[in-house]
Amino acid sequence: MKMKILLTISFLAVVFCSIAQVSPKLQTKLDKQAGEMEQKVIEWRRHIHQYPELSNQETKTAAYIAEHLKSLGLKVQTGVAKTGVVALLETGKPGPVIALRADIDALPVTERNSLPFASKEKAIYNGQETGVMHACGHDSHVAILMAVAEILSNNKSDLKGLIKFIFQPAEEGAPNGEEGGADLMVKEGVLDLPKVDVIFGLHIQSMTKLGDIAYRPAGMMAASDWFSIKVKGKQAHGAAPWMGIDPIVVSAQIINGLQTIISRQTELTKEAAVITVGRIQAGIRENIIPEEANFAGTIRTLDKDMQEKIHEKIKLMATKIAESAGATAEVSIVKKTPITYNDPALTEKVIPSLKLAAGEDHVREVHAVTGAEDFAFYQEKIPGFFFFVGAMPADIDPAKAPSHHTPDFMIDERGFLTGLKAMLDVTTGYMFMKQKK
């Protein structure tokens, strides 16, 4: 028992030393206030969950956030990147400029559970009526950052530097034909005036153990690119396919061939990569071979060189398979989201803060994931750190936990306190860290 106590004291001493001059008094205050805010975070999240809004349409959500931030006496800017909200906390003392980001948009998903605050909202998405749901946890991110803003504002006299709170719309992607998300926020100068030194963000996870924090230095989440391929053949009667060139068969051959780019031509021991076809359209009648077929999908990569090679091979494979059948293939690839890249030096600095927030046994390094996150656009400009907070309901079999972006998505609200403490601790830990001159 004595040995265990000594080891615990030793660990805390190392943590406090590594996050430099965060005073024990301030740390105690922040922990206490985080606990006191837990119920408020849950209430905010439930309200936002019940009234979700799609990307670039988050007007009511933005107004709800802005009202709270203004009540704290912060300088608040609305209408950033269409519906974003940015607030600035000035301590009046020299120090770093730290940005904290939460995403605010929901998804075109119809909620399927019996929660008393389940969404009943509907909207038109790509010409179709759909339910709208916070099926990825953005409602939680908003509520946590609202609480971080309140706690840090209440302790302004103990802080230094400036803190910029970024509530970003359209993380899930702007509607067709529109700009949005982190890319547009960067273009509109969210990292300037004052110039931001570092940025932090979190993501709640429905399939990560409750109370755990997961991170990875360098590439943590994949780049997301979208591709579309138009195959042109020759129309014919379905009873006489030899009189035409079937673009559907050619498309099927291309789709199967694309998977060999991953399985046979990509060095998967270096990094993971994925090519997925998610949409295919061709024909109008059962007995007519159409002139044209179109299909589209996504490419996920964690290495820039691999990304470029895969793009080249998709174009080569599609055009040559089509050519071999007498058809043509037009390939379009659009880079959507860069790799979510955690600056390794920054990651090393903030790990002690994560352990302080969640406990040493609840912080772990994980493998990269092939999901994408537009937080990456900030990280292209300045050092940034992004991490996962576990909120898998304790009564759910981990193998059966509903994934993000699904109607059954579910999180345990007890995970919010871990996220709140982590955001507070990485912020103050970095704030009082001895910076190299």
The 10s digit of each residue's pLDDT in 358-371 is 999 999 999 999 99
Q: Where are the beta strands (DSSP E) in 14-142?
A: 75-80, 84-90, 97-103, 122-125, 128-131
Catalytic residue flag (residue 361): no
Share of the chain above pLDDT 70, in %: 95
pLDDT the model gives residue 16: 44
**Candidate list 171, 172, 303, 412, residue with the active-site label:** 171
Catalytic residue among 53, 103, 105, 425: 105
- Say what the pLDDT of residue 191 is: 98
Residues of the chain with pLDDT under 70: 1-20, 435-437
CB 218 within 8 A of CB 273: no
**Is 171 among the catalytic positions?**
yes
Specify the pLDDT at position 395: 87
Contacts 24+ apart (CB under 8 A), 61-67: 61/104, 61/105, 61/142, 62/104, 62/167, 62/169, 65/104, 65/142, 65/146, 65/167
pLDDT of residue 11: 46
The pTM for the full model equals 0.91
DSSP reduced 3-state for 310:
helix
Residue 2 has a pLDDT of 47
